[in-house]
Structure 1
């Protein structure tokens, strides 16, 4: 590779030389030597590339379905690097699959691993809004009806973000099949409270119960709002939306 010299820099291929710009500088290098589609598909030396591509594509499909299933918790909000961060989660789950050879490993097999549910539960879904720091209380889920209770609740201890007058709590059980990517989300009515909320316990009850089509994730979300002239407006600050997986079954 060499930098082009001359009055008029070239762009394109001429006489077996590629001419192009790199970081704003005109560069010339011998054409060829790169990978092409046929080589990746057929050459033995590209086997690892094919394996990685297959597993990456699978994790990407799971990622998309999972994000769509969680959409009610952050509708209208755009997370920075949410897709790429979740890819890290699902790649880690895929790596737990010991039932398949490299190139064929699957997220669902990782979920079935002893550490699979732990990864799902302990993953930091919203680093800019740590739910357990915003709501530093005890969360308990009834294993029979999935009812969520937040005990010893004290509104003065809630970490309201700047400009917020209200906080909305959303709770649901995401019944997600990591094989078929089918899912059902069972939600409790959203609870909205302001700084005058006085109760010491918060209970969120599902409107319907999961049937068990797959892994059941107890998902809790919060969003902040600002009241203006009697109307509530969503605060789309980077720390204004939080999601956490409380338990997995």
Structure 2
């Protein structure tokens, strides 16, 4: 695959070469390749078929987790979150040490300690990551799903982007069954405060722990706003917002 660098922009196919626009600029690739029938039946492409099945599985599991936090994801994500999360799912799938190649499952890999650690701390917006924005203390009770920000002081514990006057915190807990492709999510209260607020402790508790089987995933969202004429507006179209996975149990 070639990248086009120049002032002349070509789109379409010219002499067997297809030119097309992507987020990374204009790219070019040659037409042709292996037929679908041969790809599906030729023993020489067995590994390719296995890789393809697992690639599709990773993408499906990535979408499942994103859907479980869809209300929060609307507030904080980057353009490559789908592919980044699919890569994490691939790492978890590789921890399935009991299934045959081509049949390895995220649902099995996530049951391991290593599999859970892959998702812990995953940032859905890589332009605003948790570690660079939030410096306070977070306590999570996995039994009740309660998250507590103890003695939180915005001036000391928050990297406030230019123009922000207010910040909101909220959490959610999802029961995600990667084997059955099911999820149930419960949300907590939202706390909105001035970025110049005094030191205080804030607690967030979901309406209930979602029922079901699978992995419990805890999400934490930080939103920034700019107040104007008594009304708060999302800062820079949510580009500074943080959404992270606090823990997986």
TM-score range with shorter-chain normalisation?
0.7 to 0.9
Residue 50 (1) aligns with residue 49 (2): yes
Paired position in structure 2 for 1:72? 71
Paired position in structure 2 for 1:19? 15
Does the 8 Å contact 1:176/1:214 carry over to 2? yes
- Map of 1:121-200 to 2, 5 A cutoff? 121-157=120-156, 158-200=158-200
Residue 40 (1) aligns with residue 39 (2): yes
Please state whether the residue corresponding to 1:201 is helix, strand or coil: strand
The CA distance in 2 between the partners of 1:84 and 1:159, in whole Å, is 27
Shift of 1:37: 0.5
The CA distance in 2 between the partners of 1:23 and 1:74, in whole Å, is 33
Paired position in structure 1 for 2:5? none
Classify 1:223/1:162 alpha carbon distance in 2 versus 1 (closer, same or farther; 3 Å): same
Alignment coverage as a number of residue pairs: 228
Shift of 1:238: 6.8
Paired position in structure 2 for 1:7? none
Shift of 1:159: 1.1
Shift of 1:213: 2.5
Larger radius of gyration: 1
TM-score norm. by structure 2 comes to 0.83
Classify 1:169/1:46 alpha carbon distance in 2 versus 1 (closer, same or farther; 3 Å): same
Paired position in structure 1 for 2:6? none
- Between 55-64 and 117-126, report the one with greater CA deviation: 117-126
The CA distance in 2 between the partners of 1:126 and 1:76, in whole Å, is 10
Classify 1:68/1:143 alpha carbon distance in 2 versus 1 (closer, same or farther; 3 Å): closer
The CA distance in 2 between the partners of 1:65 and 1:106, in whole Å, is 14
Paired position in structure 2 for 1:92? 91
TM-score norm. by structure 1 comes to 0.83
Shift of 1:216: 0.6
Higher normalized contact order (CA 8 Å, seq sep 6+, divided by chain length): 2
The CA distance in 2 between the partners of 1:216 and 1:63, in whole Å, is 15
Does the 8 Å contact 1:73/1:221 carry over to 2? yes
Shift of 1:100: 0.6
Please state whether the residue corresponding to 2:34 is helix, strand or coil: coil
Shift of 1:108: 0.6
- Map of 1:92-131 to 2, 5 A cutoff? 92-131=91-130
Residue 229 (1) aligns with residue 229 (2): yes
- Between 125-134 and 90-99, report the one with greater CA deviation: 125-134
Please state whether the residue corresponding to 1:123 is helix, strand or coil: coil
